[in-house]
């Protein structure tokens, strides 16, 4: 598999880290307002303050810390339109205005079918998105469902990565029926078929994949183009087997990620010091692996 071609973006020589997993929840054109109930519920689950960031807010936050961030929204077909929520196009446009620190991913629900495929082509060709985010539990699909394959074909043809939520999710957690979200869709084992069928599409398994951590490690070890981001958990709660693989077999394939604003990079980095992650692998986790995957020079 060839590495993605380099594109304009952050100067990694001046950065202390690249956070490969952040969310934006508010459009730059939306007035500051109370956060949505779903975002508040998720913040309560993570025991943190609820905050809805714009791309510009996110850029200022990460610029202060001398870090870059991959960011995105989550597209769910059938969800009511909300003008306060940023579109993929806005994320890409504001990322261009903050290209020293922001790397834009898009999100398209595979349920959008042919229209979603056309949108992906347009977002790549006209808006310069650098990857795609999927959330199988929120979007209600198994990643190996063949109906999603035309979308993957577009992503693979462009040489871009696809990032998939895996494991339990804070979305809907603690609410009646979990908000209707089904955890089984996010079992990483379903991505093994995707990785086999799309060998030139880099795949990022987002989060420690509780309760399927060993499945995620097996896939990342077996499939050359599969990576793991370490977002959504404080590092001090990482299972020992994940720490073991991060130090050894997967030291070139695990990456710093927070799930900001649910976890902050300051807390994540502080908590990493309480783990057995070796000092010699930390530079690759913080920036080197992501820079190579994203084609940053």
Tens of pLDDT, residue by residue over 185-201, are 999 999 999 999 999 99
Mean predicted confidence (pLDDT) in 42-49: 56
Least-confidence region, from 33-37, 67-71, 100-104 = 33-37
Backbone angles phi, psi at 158, to 5 degrees: -85, -5
Task: Sort 234 into a burial class: Cβ within 10 Å, 0-12 / 13-18 / 19+.
Answer: middle
- Token digits of residue 77: 């077909």
Mean predicted confidence (pLDDT) in 96-116: 98
Q: Answer for the pair 234, 210: CB distance below 8 angstroms, yes or no.
A: no
Least-confidence region, from 67-76, 132-141, 169-178, 226-235 = 169-178
pLDDT, tens digit, 9 for 90 and up, residues 83-101 = 889 999 999 999 999 999 9
Q: Domain spanning 12-294 has what CATH number? A: 3.20.20.140
Looking only at the bridges linking them, the beta strands covering 162-165 and 203-206 are parallel
Q: Answer for the pair 181, 169: CB distance below 8 angstroms, yes or no.
A: yes
Q: Answer for the pair 12, 297: CB distance below 8 angstroms, yes or no.
A: yes
Percent of residues, the chain, with pLDDT higher than 70: 90
Return the CA Rg of the chain: 17
Q: Answer for the pair 51, 193: CB distance below 8 angstroms, yes or no.
A: no
Model pTM score: 0.91
Q: Answer for the pair 19, 263: CB distance below 8 angstroms, yes or no.
A: no
Q: Cα–Cα distance between 62 and 248 in angstroms, integer?
A: 29
Q: Give just the sign of the alpha carbon dihedral 91, 67, 128, 56.
A: positive
Q: Cα–Cα distance between 152 and 186 in angstroms, integer?
A: 17
Domain boundaries, the chain: 12-294
Q: Is the pLDDT of residue 42 over 60?
A: no
Q: Is the pLDDT of residue 37 over 70?
A: no
Q: Give just the sign of the alpha carbon dihedral 215, 282, 259, 29.
A: negative
């Amino acid at each position: 598999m060839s590495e993605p071609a380099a594109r304009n973006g952050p100067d990694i020589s001046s950065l202390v880290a690249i956070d490969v997993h952040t969310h934006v929840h508010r459009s730059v054109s939306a007035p500051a307002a109370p956060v949505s109930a779903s975002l508040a519920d998720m913040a309560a689950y993570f025991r943190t303050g609820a905050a809805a960031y714009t791309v510009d807010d996110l850029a200022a936050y990460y610029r202060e810390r001398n870090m870059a961030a991959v960011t995105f929204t989550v597209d769910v077909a059938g969800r009511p339109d909300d003008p306060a929520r940023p579109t993929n196009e806005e994320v890409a446009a504001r990322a261009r205005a903050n290209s020293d620190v922001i790397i834009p991913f898009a999100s398209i629900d595979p349920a959008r079918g042919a229209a979603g495929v056309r949108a992906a082509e347009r977002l790549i060709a006209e808006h310069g998105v650098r990857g795609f985010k999927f959330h199988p539990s929120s979007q209600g699909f198994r990643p190996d469902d063949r109906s999603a394959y035309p979308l993957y074909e577009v992503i693979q043809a462009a040489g871009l990565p696809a990032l998939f939520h895996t494991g339990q999710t804070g979305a809907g957690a603690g609410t009646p029926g979990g908000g209707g979200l089904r955890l089984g869709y996010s079992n990483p084992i379903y991505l093994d078929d995707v990785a086999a069928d799309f060998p030139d599409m880099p795949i990022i398994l987002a989060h420690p994949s509780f309760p399927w951590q060993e499945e995620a490690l097996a896939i990342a070890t077996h499939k050359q183009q599969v990576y793991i981001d370490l977002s959504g958990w404080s590092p001090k709660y990482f299972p020992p087997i994940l720490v073991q693989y991060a130090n050894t077999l997967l030291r070139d394939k695990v990456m710093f990620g927070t799930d900001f604003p649910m976890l902050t990079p300051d807390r994540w980095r502080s908590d990493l010091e309480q783990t057995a992650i070796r000092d010699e692998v930390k530079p690759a986790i913080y920036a080197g692996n992501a820079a190579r995957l994203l084609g940053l020079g």
